[in-house]
Amino acid sequence: MQGRDFLTLSDVSAKELREILDFSIKLKEIKYSEELKGKTLAMLFAKTSTRTRVSFETAMTQLNGHAINLNWNETNFVKGDLKDEAKILGLYCDAVMARVFTHDQILSIAEGCDKPVINGMDDLHHPCQALADLLTILETKGKFKGLKLGWVGDGTNVCNSLIQGAEMVGMKAVIATPKGYEPKVKTSATIIQDPKEAARGADILVTDTWISLGFEKEKEERMRVFPPYQLNTQLLALAKKDCIVLHCLPAQRGHEITSDVMDSPQSKIFQESENRLHTEKALLLKLI
Ligand code: CP
């Protein structure tokens, strides 16, 4: 995988995906190493972030490399040609991680940059989040094959990446969204509107914010259509007894997920968040 981009989960094979996950588990035991000594990661953010920013920077620190945080608005990405600007980052740095507004933007950055480009989230994909989600499922269930993953709520970029991942590892994904909010990436996932059907017999239940970054102007409409999709104790009761709950965070407690579910023993949400660090270390070591 050395030198390659990671823009969507389909940039890796099913075998490579499993290798990244298995490597992440090994890295949890090691924590610090010298493997990226002298290497620099440019981190470009056009949108806000807590987890992506801190997990990637910490990953570089623990591997003895360095990360540069670039606020999009303080760079000439705002006024220059994306490919030219990205080319320069590649001349200085060993890899680029970028959170951008559109998938076309990450494609342009990858086209311009000769070093590995990692998608830190765009409007269609959040592949780094899907890696952490898959690792959390593997750690808690010990397998993927035959598991039912139910998604309730908005068919977000995280949903797109997770259902790509589910297909690659052999999980059955059942996605329940209001009409008009379906995931945009085509996979073998079953797309329905009934949240109870997604939850029934599920091994994993996942949700995401109803108002993703960039959709703030739609708040009123979204608050009208999404409440039947809330991940609460009644919905969780339809799933298997050992069903785990995931959410990429940040969560709006009391909206897409209730606090009693989020703080329940079935919630693996904070393990999932921590796993961003471990999967990103594995990814950086594979790509750089
Ligand atoms: N889940 C996630 O990507 O978190 P941030 O937006 O805080 O980076």
Residues 143 and 262 in one domain: yes
Residues 170 and 55 in one domain: no
Residues 173 and 205 in one domain: yes
Best of 45, 209, 276 for a ligand 1 pocket test (most atoms within 8 Å of beta carbon): 276
Residues 150 and 67 in one domain: no
- Which amino acid belongs to residue 249? L
Structure tokens at 119: 């998608």
Residues 267 and 148 in one domain: yes
For residue 50 and ligand 1, the question of a CB distance below 6 A is answered with yes
Q: Mean of the pLDDT values across residues 98-107? A: 98
Best of 97, 118, 121, 274 for a ligand 1 pocket test (most atoms within 8 Å of beta carbon): 121
Read off the CATH number of the domain in which 84 is found: 3.40.50.1370
For residue 49 and ligand 1, the question of a CB distance below 6 A is answered with yes
Structure tokens at 204: 């994993």
Residues 258 and 135 in one domain: yes
Atom number, ligand 1, closest to the C-alpha of residue 128: 3
Maximum separation of any 2 CA atoms in the chain, in Å: 54
Q: Is the pLDDT of residue 216 over 90?
A: no
Tens digits of residue pLDDT in 13-40: 999 999 999 999 999 999 999 999 999 9
Residues 80 and 200 in one domain: no
Q: Find how far residue 96's CA is from the centre of its chain.
A: 17
- Dihedrals phi, psi of 253, to nearest 5 degrees: -55, 135
Residues 34 and 100 in one domain: yes
Contacts of 25 (CB under 8 A, 6+ apart): 135, 138, 139, 278
Contacts of 64 (CB under 8 A, 6+ apart): 32, 33, 34, 35, 36, 37
- Banded pLDDT at 100 (limits 50, 70, 90): very high
Residues 262 and 135 in one domain: yes
Tens digits of residue pLDDT in 158-187: 999 999 999 999 999 999 999 999 999 999
Q: How many domains does the chain have?
A: 2
Residues 84 and 145 in one domain: no
Determine the structural domain holding residue 265 and report its residue range: 129-273
Does residue 4 fall inside a structural domain? no
Atom number, ligand 1, closest to the C-alpha of residue 52: 8
Does residue 144 fall inside a structural domain? yes
Structure tokens at 174: 């059942």
- Name the active-site residue from 103, 125, 255, 276: 276
Residues 103 and 144 in one domain: no
Does residue 81 fall inside a structural domain? yes
Does residue 1 fall inside a structural domain? no
Does residue 2 fall inside a structural domain? no
Does residue 223 fall inside a structural domain? yes
Residues 121 and 156 in one domain: no
252 as an active site residue: the answer is: no
Structure tokens at 13: 């094979």
Q: Is the pLDDT of residue 213 over 90?
A: no
Does residue 141 fall inside a structural domain? yes
Under DSSP, is residue 228 helix (H, G, I), strand (E, B) or coil?
helix
CA-CA distance, 12 to 20, in Å (whole number)?
Answer: 10
Does residue 121 fall inside a structural domain? yes
